[in-house]
Amino acid sequence: MSLAARVTTLIVAVLAVVGGVIFVVAHYLLGGPPTVDFAAATSGQVNVTMQTDASSDPATVPDHPTWVSYFIKSPASGSWVHTTLFQVPAHTRVNVTILGYDGSTPVRNQVWGQVSGTTGGVADYGGKPVKTVNGWNGPYLIQHTFAIPSLNLSVPVEAGPATCTTGPCTNNQHSTTTFSFMTPAQPGAYRWQCFVPCGLSYLDGNGGPMQTFGYMTGNMQVVS
């Protein structure tokens, strides 16, 4: 190989490596779903409204419209945002409402059928308080869970009466799961996730939406 060819090869290789590093860093810093800000608490409380959908409108979620997904309602605009990242103040009561537009998916481990870490140790299914839900045998069926392990918070989300496949959905065919919890005094990122293996078409339901921000897992950013 001639000297010119070797030098050219070396330059191309260096540029490829540098370009790759820049791409990864930029993707990490700039990519990912947006964060919905609930930092402006009223009377020491914030109201967080989410919905779950079996799949989404490709115009809204072009990356993976067939994946099961959460949406969060922006308090500023009132619109649904395709994200699982939200920001809340520290040491504040968070009132969560989850509109269930997905059908039933049983928990793999029934231990996640128990409500824990909420105010009063209960969640409300359409206004009825529940403490332990048999996600395998009813009477309530569940579709997903909302859990923040480091806060020992775990809430099974009731299955909807119908399956909406064009999330974010706005019809009335949904379940309503509500609960409250206190954010910790310590600021930081608190991961949350669904414990129902609901990644349809992935091995054993893991992978895909279960492991991707914006779908079935995310972060609750607590700020002081």
**Which residues make up the interface to other proteins (CB under 8 A)?**
103-111, 113-114, 131-132, 134-138, 141, 149-150, 152, 159, 191, 193, 195-198, 200-207, 210-212, 217
Residues pairing with 50 in the sheet? 72, 98
The DSSP code for 200 is: T
Q: How many distinct helices (H) and strands (E) make up the chain? A: 1, 13
Nearest to 51 by CA among 164, 161, 130, 127: 164
Torsion angle of alpha carbons 130, 132, 133, 137, nearest 10°? -130
What helix, strand, coil percent values describe the chain, rounded to 5?
20, 35, 45
Tokens of 210: 């279960």
Nearest to 77 by CA among 34, 43, 30, 29: 34
Closest approach, Cβ 74 to other proteins, in A, equals 25
Closest approach, Cβ 117 to other proteins, in A, equals 10
Our CB check for other proteins shows the closer of 49 and 83 to be: 83
Closest approach, Cβ 70 to other proteins, in A, equals 15
Our CB check for other proteins shows the closer of 27 and 131 to be: 131
Closest approach, Cβ 66 to other proteins, in A, equals 9
Closest approach, Cβ 212 to other proteins, in A, equals 8
Q: Could you give the CA distance from residue 112 to residue 149 in angstroms, rounded to a whole number?
A: 11
Our CB check for other proteins shows the closer of 106 and 184 to be: 106
Our CB check for other proteins shows the closer of 96 and 148 to be: 148
Our CB check for other proteins shows the closer of 46 and 61 to be: 61
First to last CA, the chain: 62
Our CB check for other proteins shows the closer of 99 and 130 to be: 130
Is 191:148 a contact under the CB 8 Å cutoff?
yes
Question: Do the strands 35-37 and 85-89 form a parallel or antiparallel pair, or are they unpaired?
Answer: parallel
Closest approach, Cβ 210 to other proteins, in A, equals 7
Closest approach, Cβ 79 to other proteins, in A, equals 27
Our CB check for other proteins shows the closer of 135 and 167 to be: 135
Half-sphere exposure (CA, 13 Å, Cβ side) for 161?
8
